[in-house]
A and B are shown apart, each in its own frame.
Chain A
């Protein structure tokens, strides 16, 4: 257990980068809107807080808060079939929860969806090491192309390109959202 004092220090550190977290969130949501995304299904993670707040407030985007990520794959598939470009935002544990729907609906029917997956257990995280270690292998096993996002400056262009690829390949594409991208940790230039 963390002591109250240590928790206070962590809160302080997070609040110091919270300006950038809010800015990152704005940039990401604007990127999604510019890519034409009209429906976003989400399930929270603490590191996605600012991003989800921005999604809630976004105009012209249907926001669907989920109870479990797998249902989000169905909601995105339904949205796509009637003409919406769709994205889902979740933690990598939620991506694991979604695999049956990804395989037997998104891949089987060839449905493009942007999967924005928070990369818990990434290098430097204190928790979810197992989840982190299995994230890329599972994406590879499913044949889902993915890109690790670390620099918020690249985000709008990457999101746009990922959506083009998803539509052209008629497949889901994953963007792994790291803590540095989300403005919740200092970036390392060499990563």
Chain B
């Protein structure tokens, strides 16, 4: 199963969900399929699910999707019990498990040696944790997760095949500002206030 094919079905379903994607080629594939200011590319390996949790808690009425990888999640496994404890019903955590550190020279991760991330997520307390075995199955699980009102964890075993896509066009700071302006506009809130000059305070 190719990650790109799963992302393609997801792109047709996400609507206005905020999408946080882990460092690596997946981010480039996702942004070429679904270019949107509601996308955030993560640069710290492991932090994807934690950033998505912070968003889901801060905006409980808005759907948030974390696009994680096996290497990334393995580095921050403790985010699973924390997510389970906070239980945000608007968070969908998807892990594309290709069993290697793809962006770092394709060395095997622990999942390649038998570690079961869906099993870990379920044991951590995320009861709705499932493997998708085909693209169709993934599309169905994603649709149920995006349309439902329950914390979900979806694992997908994918090949290491990459799809040739353009590079991510903006840096981290521009990504932040575009994302936050997108939140201001779509949520009709003001995050950046115009401050008085220092001499007035």
> Which positions in A face B, CB cutoff 8 Å?
38-39, 62, 64-68, 70-84, 86, 100-101, 104-105, 108-111, 164, 168
Partner of A39 from the list B58, B85, B184 (CB cut-off 8 Å) is B58
Q: How far is the CA of A111 from the CA of B172 in the complex (A)?
A: 11
Sample 14 A-B pairs with CB under 8 A, ordered by A number: A64-B54, A73-B50, A74-B48, A74-B54, A77-B54, A78-B56, A81-B58, A82-B18, A82-B183, A83-B184, A105-B43, A105-B51, A111-B176, A168-B195
Q: Is the CB of A81 within 8 A of B179?
A: yes
Q: How far is the CA of A83 from the CA of B190 in the complex (A)?
A: 8
Q: In the complex, are the beta carbons of B54 and A110 less than 8 A apart?
A: no
- A71: B residues at CB distance < 8 A: 47, 50, 76, 78-79, 82
In the bound complex, do residue A83 and residue B44 qualify as a contact, i.e. CB atoms below 8 Å apart? no
Q: How many residues of B contact A (CB 8 A)?
A: 41
Q: Residue on B with the closest CB to A68? A: B78
What are the 6 closest A-B residue pairs judged by CB atoms, nearest first?
A78-B54, A74-B50, A67-B78, A74-B47, A75-B54, A78-B51
CB distance from A177 to the nearest CB of B (A): 23
How far, in whole Å, are A138 and B145 apart by their CA atoms in the complex? 42
Task: Out of B47, B53, B59, B195, name the residue touching A105 (CB < 8 Å).
Answer: B47
Residue of B nearest to A107 (CB): B172
B interface residues (Cβ-Cβ under 8 A, vs A)? 18, 20, 40, 42-44, 46-59, 62, 76, 78-79, 81-82, 85-86, 172-173, 175-176, 179-180, 183-184, 187, 189, 191, 195, 201
Cα separation A65 to B184 with both chains bound (whole Å): 28
B76-A70 in contact (CB<8A) = yes
Which chain B residue lies CB-closest to A102? B44
Q: Are A82 and B44 in contact (CB under 8 A)?
A: no
Whether B180 pairs with A81 at a CB distance below 8 angstroms is: yes
Cβ 8 A contact of B43, one of A38, A78, A80, A104: A104
Q: A70-B46, A78-B53, A83-B58 are in contact. List 14 more A-B contacts (CB 8 A).
A: A65-B85, A70-B76, A71-B78, A74-B44, A75-B50, A75-B53, A77-B50, A78-B50, A81-B176, A81-B183, A82-B58, A83-B180, A84-B58, A105-B44
Quick one: closest A residue to B183, CB to CB?
Answer: A82
CA distance A72 to B44 in the complex (A): 13
